[in-house]
Amino acid sequence: METPVIVAIDGPSGTGKSSTSKAVAAKLGLSYLDTGAQYRAMTWWMLSNGIDVDNAAEVATAADKPTIVSGTDPSAPTITVDGTDAAGPIRTQEVTAAVSAVSAVPEVRARLVELQRSAAAAAPNGIVVEGRDIGTTVLPDATVKIFLTASAQARAARRNGELNGKEAADLAATQAALVKRDAADSGRKTSPLAKADDAIEVDTTDLTLDQVIECIVTLIEEKRAAR
Ligand SMILES: Nc1ncnc2c1ncn2[C@@H]1O[C@H](COP(=O)(O)OP(=O)(O)OP(=O)(O)O)[C@@H](O)[C@H]1O
Ligand SMILES: Nc1ccn([C@@H]2O[C@H](COP(=O)(O)O)[C@@H](O)[C@H]2O)c(=O)n1
């Protein structure tokens, strides 16, 4: 049997990590894990349980309380918190605004990194794991490490495109929010958003999603062939 392939995909917000990772995993028959969804799930639980997310000590004490379970099928990824489907609630603005503070707390990271490593170890054919510190901290021995980037303008336009005219989104405000979250994620002490030294950087600004997927599938296949 072939050795499972472990793919780490990191990068700032809105660079295409989720869309790309799901498609690459589906194409190659691998599992898929969205670690951002786990930090969001932890944040949602904190907000729902009256924890002051700006009080790191309070967050640290509560970090081992919620039971967070991620389903790793790339065609139907799931996330539950204490048995409740959290896929919708973790995408609210309230959670997005609070998640960087919660994810900066070392006790939160320790708890979730353990879950992430267990998911990778349990994936029968291998896994694509996306986040901010997968290549640097969670899976430093990953077979392939990718660091996705894109200009802040392109990322904001992509995010606004998701709204399909449902809301009159202000492009400048979207961009400012993305840049603010990236700064918080890059500036924290524990496992900041960073490119691993051995990661391949792919600038997606002028690439279509299909081109990015193809590029990463090719990189993985080349690595596999060379093993
Ligand atoms: N290369 C691309 N060209 C155009 N649109 C793209 C490209 N890649 C992704 N998108 C779109 O950009 C949006 C953001 O992508 P996605 O959610 O995959 O990014 P992300 O890096 O996972 O974001 P976050 O870190 O905030 O969760 C989605 O609407 C997606 O369809
Ligand atoms: N490995 C990771 C993944 C995510 N985070 C934090 O979660 C936030 C939400 O991530 P999305 O991918 O869903 O946008 C992100 O802004 C980080 O604060 C993390 O710390 N480490």
Report in angstroms the alpha-carbon separations of 11 from 95, 166, 227: 19, 27, 26
Range of the domain at 123: 5-226
Give the strand pairing for 126-131 and 5-10: parallel
CATH number at residue 204: 3.40.50.300
Residue nearest to atom 21 of ligand 2 (CA): 132
DSSP state of 70: E
pLDDT digits (tens, 9 = 90+) for 74-129: 999 999 999 999 999 999 999 999 999 999 999 999 999 999 999 999 999 999 99
Q: How many domains does the chain have?
A: 1
164 lines ligand 1 (CB under 6 A): no
16 lines ligand 2 (CB under 6 A): no
pLDDT digits (tens, 9 = 90+) for 168-192: 468 899 999 999 999 999 999 999 9
Element spanning 19, H or E? helix 17-28
Angle made by CA atoms 84, 124, 39, in degrees to the nearest 5: 35
pTM > 0.90: yes or no: yes
Residue nearest to atom 9 of ligand 2 (CA): 36
ipTM of the modeled complex: 0.98
Ligand with minimal distance to 116 CA: 2
